[in-house]
Structure 1
Amino acid sequence: MSTGITDIKAIEEVVATVERTQRAKDAEGFLSLFHPDALWTTGHGKVLIGFDAIAEFTRAVLPDAEWDGEVTYEVVHVQFLRPDVAAVKVRQVYHSAKSGSQGAPLYVMTKQEDGRWLLHACQNTEVLAG
């Protein structure tokens, strides 16, 4: 397996899809990015183990989520742990009239046999001012 530009572009596309599905409040599109054995920790520390727990939470929360402005996601670093495993540092910025809060998610992604990259173990961390 190679870990070149093609893999980085595919990883960046997953992060772009996270952004698009969050903005659109598209729970099913967001959930399509997860490995069946995924682990997700929300920005407020809620631990969700397995796809079913992530899906239940996402379907309950995302469609009714409200925020002022929009959010952007940017890949700031990709570290290949193995050719089929990458640690991906993301900058998450909420653009609003009230604040410019940020998140610093870490996504551990795995490459599937079909070449797709999926979210496997993720921690969404709020960046506190100061």
Structure 2
Amino acid sequence: MTTAQLQDPATATDAAPAAPPVPRPRSRRRMLKRALTGAALALGLTAGAGYLWLDATSEVKATGSAACTAVTATGAGTGTGTGDRDAVCAVLASLAGAWGAADADAYGALFTQDATYTTYVGTHYQGRGDITEAHRALFGGFVKGTKLADSVLGIRFLGPDAAVVTSRGDTYEGGRPAELSKVQTYTLTRESDGRWRIAAFQNTQRQPVMERASFLLSPGTVPGAEK
């Protein structure tokens, strides 16, 4: 090979191959972004599938009874007959009737003068007047045209003039829902006029996925009725 050939890369036959181009910083960032996007997508799909599985396997066993008067009351004074139980059930039936009729005054009249009412979003009402006016607004707005569905889990008398009712419930339009998404506690008292009224009400939105995850991670939290 001549000196000219050694000096001219175009005529060199055994010159070393050119080194591959070094990726530009922008190319590296693009590759990293794609990798992170892929990882996030895979993680999202896995989390989504896990959420759907938890939701699908979170059915409750203790569903209660849609017929309040079919529930056997427990506690003090329950051996004297079913009259008080039926009177308590009548209050709940009237509550649903007033809701369906969007009658705030009839609804509020089922509560004691100093009743408390806590909604599933955490709003707390104090007194019959507060409860009545709040539902007057609700019946004309957020819950307009809805009905109440409930399923009684238990009726427990604390004495001759006090009872606690636990239930599952929901609002609905059209057909009654198969699954009720909230859990309620009613505390009722027999007042001096002999009528039973609601002294306190607590409504809780059930979180099925969180509940199911809790049961899996800590089996000791499973209620006896759900085992």
Shared fold (TM-score greater than 0.5)?
Answer: yes
> How far off its partner does 1:67 sit?
6.7
Residue of 106, 120, 127 corresponding to 2:199: 120
Tell whether the 8 Å contact from 2:139 to 2:145 is kept in structure 1 after alignment.
no
Q: Which of the two has greater strand per residue?
A: 1
Amino acid aligned to 1:116? R
Corresponding residue for residue 105 of structure 2: 28
Question: For 2:180 and 2:164, how far apart are their aligned partners in 1?
Answer: 23
Q: What is the TM-score normalised by the length of structure 1?
A: 0.84
**Partners of 1:68 and 1:101 in 2: how far apart?**
18
TM-score, structure 2 length as denominator? 0.51
Letter of the structure 2 residue corresponding to residue 62 of structure 1? F
Greater relative contact order (CA < 8 Å, ≥ 6 in sequence): 1
Identical aligned pairs, as a percentage?
30
Unmatched 5+ stretches in structure 1: none
Q: Which amino acid aligns with 1:36?
A: Q
Question: How many Å separate the matches in 2 of 1:126 and 1:72?
Answer: 14
- Alignment-derived partner of residue 43 in structure 1: 120
**Aligned residues of 1:71 and 1:93 also touching (Cα < 8 A):** yes
Which residues in structure 2 correspond to 1:3-22 (within 5 Å)? 3=78, 4-22=81-99
SS in 2 for 1:30: helix
Q: What is the root-mean-square deviation in Å for CA atoms of aligned residues? A: 2.4
Query: After the TM superposition, which of the residue ranges 32-41 and 17-26 deviates more from structure 2?
Result: 17-26
Distance across 1 between alignment mates of 2:192 and 2:107: 21
Aligned residues: 129
TM-aligned CA deviation for residue 95 of structure 1: 4.9
- The separation in 2 between residues aligned to 1:67 and 1:102, in whole angstroms, is 19
The separation in 1 between residues aligned to 2:113 and 2:157, in whole angstroms, is 21
SS in 2 for 1:22: helix
How far, CA to CA, are the matches of 1:65 and 1:58 in structure 2? 10
The 8 Å contact of residues 16 and 73 in structure 1, kept in 2 or not, is answered as: no
Partner of 2:129: 52
User: Which structure shows the bigger proportion of residues in helix conformation?
Assistant: 2
Corresponding residue of 1:108: 187
SS in 2 for 1:105: strand
Q: SS in structure 2 opposite 1:28?
A: helix
Partner SS, residue 60 of structure 1: helix
**Which range is displaced more, 68-77 or 26-35?**
68-77
Task: Tell me what 1:73 maps to.
Answer: 150
Distance 2:112 2:89 in 1: 17
Deviation at 1:113, TM superposition (A): 2.2
